[in-house]
Amino acid sequence: MKYYILTDLEGPAGVATWDQTRVDKSPEKSVAMRFLTAEVNACIDGILDEDPGAEIVVLDGHGSGGIDMERIHPRAQVIWGKGHRLPNGMDESFDALLFVGQHAMAGTPDAPLCHTYSSLHVEYYKLNGQYIGEFGCRALLAGSFGVPTIFLAGDDKACQEAEAFIPGIVTVATKIGMGIELALHLSPEESCRRIRRAAAEAVQKRDQIPPVVWDPPYELEIRVQEGRSVEGYLRRGAEPLDERTCRFRVDSLLKLPI
């Protein structure tokens, strides 16, 4: 079997502040990267506990990088670097998608470090009239290739978002959100223990969790934060709705900024 793990840096236990995710090469970010990499490794171990012959591809999905390549699991193959382009290596050859280090969508109450693609730019995404975050967009992209999303590790609000979007998905709450930069965290060791066990459970349940699929066409409405511009989206083919809001109308998810 072949598994795709998508990572982000805001969701691991021990990551609480924007400085841990934004300040490249800072001591704070280096610690956060170690926490994330340990959780990714625990997820890989959980997969291998159930499927020892698994092929595992990891996408470092954090914009400024979140994986510590010196500490990554020896069985991992990592998509890492600049210039990400959809579908980022995802295709029909994969058997499942798993998320590690995930945060909730922008605007989620008490969700630590919540945002949708850009914490500095985006107020919300709506796809076909439904508020959606990075998790939902990527799960739909995987679903368009027939790939089910079976697992998520991240804060409790991200887990709730995933469970509402995909009934039956296996989740691990690494921390309980209490504010944008505040949470009640598991210890990194306990978080990794739970992730390993739950990832193995997700592999066991893989055939019980169907891919999530929405039929085209797609309308993606994006509203930016006050003082930000939609001009970049307009250059990519969106139509303006007002000075802070625009809309894409497309027949393929690959044509959207997700």
CATH fold group of domain 2-104+133-212: Rossmann fold (3.40.50)
Residue 24 has pLDDT above 90, yes or no: no
Each domain of the chain, given as residue ranges in start order, spans 2-104+133-212
Letter string b/e over residues 162-174, b meaning 16 or more CB atoms within 10 A of that residue's CB: beebbeebbbbbb
Residue 43: Cβ-neighbour burial (10 angstroms; 0-12, 13-18, 19+): buried
Calculate mean pLDDT across residues 28-42.
96
| Structure tokens that stand for 141 in this block | 């992209």
The pLDDT score that the predictor gives to residue 170 is 98
Residue 82 has pLDDT above 90, yes or no: no
Task: Tell me how far apart the alpha carbons of residues 234 and 246 are, in angstroms, rounded to a whole number.
Answer: 8
- Split at pLDDT 50, 70, 90, the class of 64 is confident
Task: Tell me how far apart the alpha carbons of residues 196 and 42 are, in angstroms, rounded to a whole number.
Answer: 5
Is residue 155 classed as helix, strand or coil in its secondary structure? Answer: coil
- Split at pLDDT 50, 70, 90, the class of 25 is low
Is residue 100 classed as helix, strand or coil in its secondary structure? Answer: strand
